[in-house]
Amino acid sequence: MTARIEFRLNATDGKARTGVIATPRGDIRTPAFMPVGTAATVKAMLPESVAATGADILLGNTYHLMLRPTAERIDALGGLHKFMNWQKPILTDSGGFQVMSLSGLRKMNEEGVTFKSHIDGSRHTLTPERSMEIQRLLGSDIVMCFDECTPFPAEEKVALESMRMSMRWAQRSRDAFGDRPGHALFGIQQGSIFRDQRAESAEKLSDIGFDGYAVGGLAVGEGQEMMFDVLDYAPDMLPQDKPRYLMGVGKPDDIVGAVARGIDMMDCVLPSRSGRTGQVFTRHGVVNIKNARHQDDPRPLDEACTCPACRSYSRAYLHHVFRAQEMISGMLLTWHNLHYYQELMQGMRDAITAGTFEAFQAAFHAQRAEGDIEPM
């Protein structure tokens, strides 16, 4: 346990890194995958089940929580950790991304964003200062700067103006956050797919000084190839001695590719959302449990997986409860998917420590190329 949030790098292999972010609420082993607990819950999972999958940290969404039940209410009830019964670290986003993707009628200017709630149409304002206040009320351990996630594609000039405003907002976020021992503030690099803009953004953020740095503005429709092109240089521009967080990523092969390029933390709704739509991630790629090929199959999803869905249930059962729209379907498939993601992270941490990350990547891709087991 530590009073301040500290990042210790334990090993590197190529650009891939493994280490620990020590926080007063426990250690976060990196590379880390953060399940998304949008509305103070990882859907279909008890918090103790999320912890059992190996997650060290969750992500909470400022936009959703500020609208319902409100940050003030959560604060009055003892903070987000107590409210949702999750005692390990929580990272909250700034609300900016979801304002742009979910809310109606928005007005953005230098001050911030005014918008209408997607729930009841009520009017709200988010500024860097208000975002810092909300994340403080929630009790978040890792707070994100308020920024504009530059839409993709963006013309160079538009991306530049957007990035520079985000850097002014980063300074305002830093000023409003103040000195809060035990809590971290991360800056967010923008600059779309433009290398010189990414460099300018990284330099500005380093000058301000943060506890960690996110690569923002990716996974917004540019595709894996273009994302990897940016990740080939963008993380290198950020300070080596602080955690680097790639926001909103991704599919398993995105995650492995990002770690190979020096990323330490990621989050994505994919494993939990897919669990509710019958899409399952395994070592052999994606399995669609709704497919009729599973209806008489007594075998587990993945015989090597130790999650409850694979240990105790057949593909036939998982197919049946999905088709019958039984709640246990979302519960079991989400558990499996989160377990798979966390096992992937552990595999990468072990491989980086052992200096065998290249072999790990080759085996990862080879197994996926084999595809799912043959039908019965």
Cβ(103)–Cβ(118) under 8 Å? Answer: yes
Nearer to Zn ion by Cβ, of 69 and 308: the residue is 308
Q: Tell which positions 218-237 bind Zn ion, by CB under 5 A.
A: none
Task: Kindly state the smallest distance separating residue 309's Cβ from Zn ion, in Å.
Answer: 5
* 242 three-state secondary structure: coil
Give the separation between CA 333 and CA 308, rounded to whole angstroms. 9
Give the separation between CA 37 and CA 29, rounded to whole angstroms. 19
Nearer to Zn ion by Cβ, of 53 and 192: the residue is 53
Task: Kindly state the smallest distance separating residue 376's Cβ from Zn ion, in Å.
Answer: 19
Binding of Zn ion at residue 336 (CB under 5 A)? yes
Binding of Zn ion at residue 52 (CB under 5 A)? no
Q: Cα–chain-centroid distance for residue 63?
A: 15
* 203 three-state secondary structure: helix
Nearer to Zn ion by Cβ, of 178 and 371: the residue is 371
254 catalytic, yes or no?
no
Q: Cα–chain-centroid distance for residue 259?
A: 13
Pick from 28, 307, 318, 348: which binds Zn ion (CB under 5 A)?
A: 307
262: annotated binding-site residue?
A: no
Q: Cα–chain-centroid distance for residue 105?
A: 27
Give the separation between CA 338 and CA 68, rounded to whole angstroms. 26
Nearer to Zn ion by Cβ, of 134 and 289: the residue is 289
**Alpha-carbon torsion (347, 43, 137, 93), positive or negative:** positive
Candidates 110-118, 251-259, 302-310, 363-371 — which segment interacts with Zn ion by CB under 5 A?
302-310
217: annotated binding-site residue?
A: yes
Nearer to Zn ion by Cβ, of 237 and 338: the residue is 338
In this structure, how many other beta carbons lie within 10 angstroms of the beta carbon of residue 291? Answer: 13
229 catalytic, yes or no?
no
Cβ(140)–Cβ(92) under 8 Å? Answer: yes
For the sheet with 142-144, list strands across it: 32-35, 265-268, 244-246, 212-215, 184-189, 142-144, 90-92, 58-60
**Catalytically annotated residue among 13, 27, 56, 93:** 93
The number of residues in the chain equals 376
Task: Kindly state the smallest distance separating residue 118's Cβ from Zn ion, in Å.
Answer: 34
Give the helix ranges, DSSP H, for 270-314. Answer: 270-277, 308-312
In this structure, how many other beta carbons lie within 10 angstroms of the beta carbon of residue 107? Answer: 11
Pick from 126, 310, 332, 352: which binds Zn ion (CB under 5 A)?
A: 310
Give the separation between CA 23 and CA 373, rounded to whole angstroms. 42
Binding of Zn ion at residue 305 (CB under 5 A)? yes
Question: With contacts defined by CB under 5 A, how many residues of the chain interact with Zn ion?
Answer: 5
Candidates 102-110, 128-136, 257-265, 307-315 — which segment interacts with Zn ion by CB under 5 A?
307-315
Nearer to Zn ion by Cβ, of 174 and 294: the residue is 294
312: annotated binding-site residue?
A: no
**Catalytically annotated residue among 141, 267, 302, 372:** 267
Binding residues: 93-97, 147, 190, 217, 305, 307, 310, 336
Binding residues for substrate: 93-97, 147, 190, 217
Supply the residues annotated as catalytic: 93, 267
Binding residues for Zn(2+): 305, 307, 310, 336
The site for Zn ion (CB under 5 A) is made up of 305, 307, 309-310, 336
